């Protein structure tokens, strides 16, 4: 035996982001049966997939393997890799013919721990719980999350295009979506025996508009505060819960309308949205009027503005998370009592729990649309059911919506819109712009319209035959 040591050339490639190879291990795996063990065990038949994405200069990888009904998932940014990185890993590839050992950087500078995951359960990051959305369409939801996070731009665009033609409950907001849904259900209606009236009723039940009075003939009666803040709208009256209107801080609106110094402080600390502060002049005029009718209207207007201030603040909080009690945090941020904080949290957020991050509240697309509808409805009522083009444009800017989308939302509330030309001043110049006036139940003729009659019609018939 020769004492001469064999020389091996070690080659280290230049450092850089690596998507492959991925080094992973399974801390636990099902015991194989005798038949499976004779064929090499279950690991021999597992297929591994690696997904990678780059974000803000960093790379994140995910490894996914499947074994029957059990998935094994590992991420480079998983909980086991969040601590201090004390060392780096490389994979050695030995080439005997060339006596060369090449060190290859592994994906994400991490070794992946593949954790078993059962279908239809939530693991974020380690706690398990039932996911009711996943139970309904688990595979589709999981695939969408995977593509959204790791898919290419082309793949995401294709997925969005496919889903654009699908109307789901969280996307139904009114006429356009309902027409598409009813059209797609036309052939199934005869087979299932569902009548046209029943299909229409079910469609309207999914509209993301606030509680309202269909028989109302004025804006204030269409969306009254008692309904908007009702704790059990549409439920039987055998155990009614009181409305939360009295919990609104209308007194603060009065004080701001009367005290210029407090109003200036409110502008500076930005605790109340500037849109609401601009409406306090009208509140002051109503309050100081000698008319009893105007004074009663002022009391109602103060409540409307107090609610509008809360809704605009909620739009700035798409999610809520706090180490202690999120409800107390919401009450502090919105300057409301705990009862109102619980009401808004339940109506406009989904409550989620996990052992690592605690309790948090997240808003779905349908809840966001409902919150926007609440905001627009209260804004219309606070203006006696009429908005000039400048006010519509101001709301569009606040809500960060395109004009067409905003007008569609207003029409779903029963509003009528009219295209007008308006002069707007900016940077020392006056420009003529095309805008829209908006009105809600402004009775102009001999006949009196109800809110139900102002809702967009639903056309459940095809205009043509064939495809």
Q: Are residues 105 and 240 in the same domain?
A: no
Q: What mean pLDDT comes out for the span 374-396?
A: 93
| 119 vs 343 pLDDT, higher one | 343
Q: What is the pLDDT of residue 238?
A: 47
Residues 58 and 194 in one domain: no
* 192 and 247 housed in the same domain: no
Q: What is the DSSP string of 337-361?
A: -HHHHHHHHHHH-EEEEETTTEEEE
Same domain, 389 and 288: yes
Which residue, 152, 177, 205, sits at the end of a domain?
Answer: 205
Tens-place pLDDT, residues 246-263: 889 889 998 898 888 888
Phi, psi (5° rounding) for residue 339? Answer: -60, -45
Domain-embedded: residue 326: no
Provide the residue range defining the domain that includes 371: 219-318+363-454
Same domain, 191 and 247: no
On whether residue 77 sits in a domain, the answer given is yes
Same-domain pairing of 25 and 113: yes
For the stretch 277-298, pLDDT in tens is 999 999 999 988 899 999 899 9
**76 vs 212: CA distance, rounded Å:** 49
Of 325, 328, 334, 365, residue with least CA distance to 349: 365
Same domain? 224 vs 300: yes
pTM confidence score: 0.57
Higher pLDDT, 11 or 59: 11
Q: How many residues in the chain? A: 467
Residue 462 backbone zone (phi > 0: left; psi -120 to 50: alpha; other: beta): beta
Whether residue 412 is found in the same domain as residue 275 = yes
Q: Is residue 109 domain-shared with residue 17, that is, in the same domain? A: yes
Say what the pLDDT of residue 116 is: 79
Percent of all residues in the chain with a pLDDT value above 70, rounded to a whole number:
66
Instruction: Say if 90 falls within a structural domain.
Output: yes
CA angle in degrees (0–180, nearest 5) for 13-17-20 = 80
Q: Domain check: are 192 and 234 in the same one?
A: no
Q: Are strands 9-11 and 100-105 parallel, antiparallel or unpaired?
A: parallel
pLDDT value for 309 = 94
Identify whether residues 198 and 90 lie together within a single domain: no
pLDDT at 228: 92
- Can you tell me the distance from the alpha carbon of 391 to that of 397, in angstroms, rounded to the nearest whole number? 10
What average pLDDT does the segment 219-231 reach?
90
pLDDT of res. 127? 37
Where a domain ends, among 118, 153, 187?
118
Angle of the 338-348 helix axis to the 326-334 helix axis, nearest 10: 110
Q: Is residue 56 part of a domain?
A: yes
One domain for residues 177 and 223: no
Number of domains the chain contains = 3
Residue with tokens 């009548």: 195
Residue 265 is assigned to a structural domain of this protein: yes
């Amino acid at each position: 035996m020769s004492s001469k040591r064999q020389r091996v050339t070690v080659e280290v490639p230049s450092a850089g982001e690596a998507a492959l190879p991925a080094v992973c291990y399974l801390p636990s795996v099902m015991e194989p049966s005798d038949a499976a063990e004779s064929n090499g065990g279950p690991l021999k038949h597992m297929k591994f997939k690696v997904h990678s994405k780059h974000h803000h200069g960093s790379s994140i990888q995910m490894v996914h393997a499947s074994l029957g009904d059990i998935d094994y998932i590992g991420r480079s940014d998983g909980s086991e890799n969040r601590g201090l990185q004390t060392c780096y890993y490389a994979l050695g590839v030995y080439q005997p013919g060339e006596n060369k050992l090449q060190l290859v950087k592994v994906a994400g500078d991490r070794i992946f721990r593949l954790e078993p995951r059962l279908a239809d359960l939530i693991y974020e990051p380690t706690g398990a719980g039932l996911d009711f959305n996943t139970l309904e369409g688990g595979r589709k939801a999981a695939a969408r999350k995977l593509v959204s996070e790791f898919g290419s731009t082309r793949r995401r665009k294709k997925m969005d295009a496919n889903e654009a033609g699908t109307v789901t409950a969280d996307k139904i907001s009114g006429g356009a979506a309902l027409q598409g849904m009813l059209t797609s259900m036309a052939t199934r209606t005869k087979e299932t025996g569902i009548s046209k009236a029943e299909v229409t009723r079910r469609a309207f039940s999914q509209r993301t508009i606030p509680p309202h009075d269909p028989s109302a003939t004025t804006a204030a009666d269409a969306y009254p505060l008692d309904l908007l803040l009702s704790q059990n709208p549409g439920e039987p009256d055998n155990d009614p819960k009181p409305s939360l209107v009295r919990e609104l801080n209308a007194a603060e609106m009065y004080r701001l309308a009367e005290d210029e110094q407090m109003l200036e402080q409110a502008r500076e600390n930005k605790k109340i949205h500037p849109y609401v502060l601009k409406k306090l002049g009208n509140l002051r005029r109503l309050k100081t009027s000698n008319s009893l009718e105007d004074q009663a209207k002022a009391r109602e207007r103060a409540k409307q503005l107090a609610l509008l201030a809360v809704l605009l603040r909620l739009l700035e909080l798409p999610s809520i998370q706090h180490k202690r009690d999120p409800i107390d945090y919401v009450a502090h941020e919105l300057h409301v009592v705990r009862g109102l904080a619980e009401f808004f949290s339940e109506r406009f957020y989904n409550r989620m729990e996990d052992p690592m991050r605690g309790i948090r509240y997240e808003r779905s697309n349908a809840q966001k649309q409902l919150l926007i509808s609440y905001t627009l409805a209260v804004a219309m009522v606070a203006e006696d059911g009429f908005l000039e083009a400048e006010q519509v444009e101001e709301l569009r800017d606040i809500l960060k919506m395109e004009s067409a989308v905003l007008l569609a939302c207003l029409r779903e509330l029963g509003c009528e819109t009219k295209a007008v030309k308006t002069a707007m001043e900016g940077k020392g110049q006056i420009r003529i712009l095309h805008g829209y006036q908006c009105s809600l139940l402004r009775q102009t003729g001999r006949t009196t319209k109800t809110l139900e009659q102002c809702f967009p019609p639903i056309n459940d018939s095809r205009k043509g035959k064939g495809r």
